[in-house]
Amino acid sequence: MQTKAKKKSPKSNPAREPVPEVDPLFVPIVEAFAGNKLVARKRMFSSHNVLSVKNKIFAMLSRGNFVAKLPKARVDELVAKRVGKHFDPGHGRLMKEWLSVPPGRASWIDLAKEAYAFVSQSKP
């Protein structure tokens, strides 16, 4: 009696796992940096909606809001103008250099470019 060889599940081979899709809200941000070889799409927790430069995150999508790393003074200015809020990663501690912006409040692409410039100029 012959036994059939079991086929390996695609999930058992990480090289064959499908590339996770980008959240539709984050697609324009990813596309804005598509030609920049210094920008990488990273995984943070279970999200693939994260962009980094020099191995440092500068933009991400969190709970439906765009989050960008900017100088503290710039974040304070945008919070005062009610463009967004200081980012809270979920443990109640507001991040001084991170701004969380809901959809439609400001140009996420412009803020991402500003965040990229800030992070790419920062020292390692």
What is the CATH number for 30?
Answer: 3.90.1150.30
Q: Structural domain of residue 50, as residue ranges?
A: 22-121
Q: Give domain status of residue 9, yes or no.
A: no
CA–CA gap between residue 56 and residue 14 (Å, rounded): 24
pTM for this model (two decimals): 0.80
Give the pair of three-digit tokens for residue 34.
């598509």
Percentage, residues of the chain above pLDDT 70: 81
What per-residue confidence (pLDDT) applies to 11? Answer: 46
Q: Give domain status of residue 15, yes or no.
A: no
Percentage, residues of the chain above pLDDT 90: 67
For residue range 32-76, what is the model confidence (pLDDT) as tens digits?
Answer: 999 999 999 987 766 679 999 999 999 999 989 999 999 999 999
Nearest to 112 by CA among 61, 46, 48: 61
Please state which of the ranges 23-27, 82-86, 115-119 shows the lowest mean pLDDT.
Answer: 23-27
Q: Give domain status of residue 81, yes or no.
A: yes
CA–CA gap between residue 55 and residue 95 (Å, rounded): 19
Structural domain total, the chain: 1
Q: Give domain status of residue 112, yes or no.
A: yes
Q: Give domain status of residue 1, yes or no.
A: no
Contact 49, 67 (CB under 8 A): no
